[in-house]
Structures are given as C-alpha cells and as structure tokens.
C-alpha cells in the first residue's frame, strides 16, 4: 500500500471525479453493508450524469430472448438500420450484482456510433439471486439465438465479437469458454475492459490499491465474488485465470493502472499469449477502475 497522498498519479481529468466520489462515499454506508436492491438503485443514480445526453443513433430497440425458464432482456443499438454487419455483444459491469440495460447506455451508444457496429447489450441475471453459472447461461443462450436469428436483425452471425467491462469482461470470457466447451459458435474477437478474472487477492495491485482510495476496494471485490460464487469452489469458467484458454478468439485487454484488478489483467494477457492467442494489451495510465 502506498504511503502519503499519491493523487498526482491520477489523470488530471479524473482527479475531480475521484475527489467527488470520496466525499460521497464518506457520507454514506459502505457498499458492502447495504442490500442488493439498494445497491442497484445507488448505482443507477450515480450513472445518470453519464447517460443524460445520449448519442443519437438510427435505431435503439429493446426486446427479449426466450430462455428455458425466463426471458433475457437485450437492447440493440444500430448506427445504421440498412446495414448487414457484424455486431458486438456486450455484458455490463457491476460485480455480477449491479447493472441493467441502462447502466452503460451512454457509452454503448458512443461505441456503436464510432465503430459503425451494431451493439447488443445483455441484461443477464444477477447475483446473489442468481449465482454462477446463470450469467454465462444467459450469454450462451443469447449467442445461440443470434446464430439462428441474427440475419433478421441485419447481423452477420459469423462476425460477432464479445465485450464487457469489469464483471462483464468476466461474463464475456466465461461465456466464450462455455461455448467452446459445449460446441457452440464462438465469437470472432473479444474486447475485455479491466476484467475480474481471479478470486484471489494476492496480486500486487490488490496490495497497492486495496484500501479503495482510487475507487474499488478489495473488500468490495470480496463481497462481489462471494455474491457470485457463494461458498462453492471456483470453476474455471468463473475464474478464467485458471482456465484452459486454448481455442479462444484473439483479444483486446484494457488495463487501468490505478486499479486492484490491474495485475490480474496483465496476468491474463500472459496466459492468453501462452495459449496461442493474439492479444492487444493497452494500459490506461492514471486511470481508475471503470
């Protein structure tokens, strides 16, 4: 753990955001002491400023995909409605406990506009009500549905990539592993942003940033992992740092420097490359988790 004030390490545009977050955190109960419903409402309120001036697209459509026992709600962002193109299937962050289709709406609109790709956001089931492997089951169901039905949405099912941030990166990678092992159609690429890949906290970045001064404390990650897995043994689809990564698509990994998860992202890059994947690895200096 660093001693003294090391706020100088923060990107200058992030410093006022971090200072404001510290003030708000000091005035309210810690995240790990409130119930999931309250936690989700708090997160939704905090993301309002990021979503209040949405990028305009040709069309944004909400619909549901039938699973065996429930419906999976999704949102399709289309920068151009007359295109037959590839798509990014995106899984939101939130520690497997928080999040919905609205949480990262603003960011996904920008991604769709700037990339020219259709983006399909997945409202997968959340823990602790639905523990592992529920989120991955939903991801697999969505991919299998797209393989069969994507053409009707103007989506080339042979040009689908997976993406996600934080716990969503975990869900994206875990879903790809599940599809590989079950013989399903794989994504052609993955974009994994500051992902959670290991339940263990013995990484150097946990030791350096675990106090939460840059946003995400180790106590919160412990809470999220416990909510997702409970007391069950870690499955390699849930903790993919320990998975056989061979046969997966190539990948982009974004690592944020001032983040408890930084070290495991570097570790994942090494393990993917050792498994034969081509990995583009970017470290965002001065950036915090999320």
Q: Which of 138, 198, 259, 263 is catalytic?
A: 259
Which of helix, strand or coil describes residue 118?
strand
Closest listed residue to residue 136, CA positions, set 166, 187, 177: 177
**Which residue is listed with tokens 């928080």?**
98
232 is catalytic: no
Q: Which of 92, 105, 123, 166 is catalytic?
A: 166
166 is catalytic: yes
231 is catalytic: no
- Chain centroid to CA 156: how far? 23
**Which residue is listed with tokens 């046969």?**
247
Tokens for 172, please give them: 């994206």
**Which residue is listed with tokens 């200058």?**
12
Please state, in angstroms and as integers, the Cα–Cα distance from residue 274 to each residue in 59, 148, 246, 255, 270, following that order.
41, 33, 9, 18, 6
Active site residues: 166, 259, 289
């Amino acid at each position: 753990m660093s001693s003294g004030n090391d706020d100088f390490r923060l990107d200058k545009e992030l410093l006022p955001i971090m200072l404001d977050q510290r003030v708000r955190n000091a005035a309210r109960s810690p995240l790990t002491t409130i119930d999931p419903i309250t936690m989700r409402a708090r997160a939704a309120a905090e993301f309002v400023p990021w979503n209040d001036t949405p990028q305009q697209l040709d069309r944004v459509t909400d619909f549901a995909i039938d699973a065996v026992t429930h419906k999976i709600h999704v949102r399709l962002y289309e920068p151009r409605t007359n295109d037959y193109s590839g798509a990014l299937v995106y899984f939101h962050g939130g520690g497997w406990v928080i999040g919905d289709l609205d949480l990262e709406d603003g960011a996904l609109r920008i991604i769709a506009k700037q990339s020219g790709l259709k983006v399909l956001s997945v409202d997968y089931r959340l823990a602790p009500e639905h523990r592992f492997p529920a989120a991955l089951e939903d991801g697999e169901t969505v991919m299998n549905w797209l393989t069969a039905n994507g053409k009707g949405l103007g989506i080339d099912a042979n040009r689908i990539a997976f993406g996600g941030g934080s716990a969503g990166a975990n869900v994206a990678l875990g879903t790809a592993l599940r599809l590989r092992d079950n013989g399903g159609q794989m994504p052609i690429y993955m974009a994994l942003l500051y992902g959670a890949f290991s339940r263990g906290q013995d990484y150097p970045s946990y030791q350096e940033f675990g106090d939460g001064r840059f946003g995400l404390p180790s106590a919160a990650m412990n809470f999220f992992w416990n909510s997702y897995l409970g007391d069950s043994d870690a499955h390699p689809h849930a903790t993919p740092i320990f998975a056989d990564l061979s046969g997966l698509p190539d990948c982009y990994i974004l690592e944020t420097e001032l983040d408890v998860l930084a070290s495991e992202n570097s570790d994942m890059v090494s393990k993917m490359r050792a498994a034969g994947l081509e990995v583009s690895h970017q470290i965002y200096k001065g950036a915090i988790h999320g």
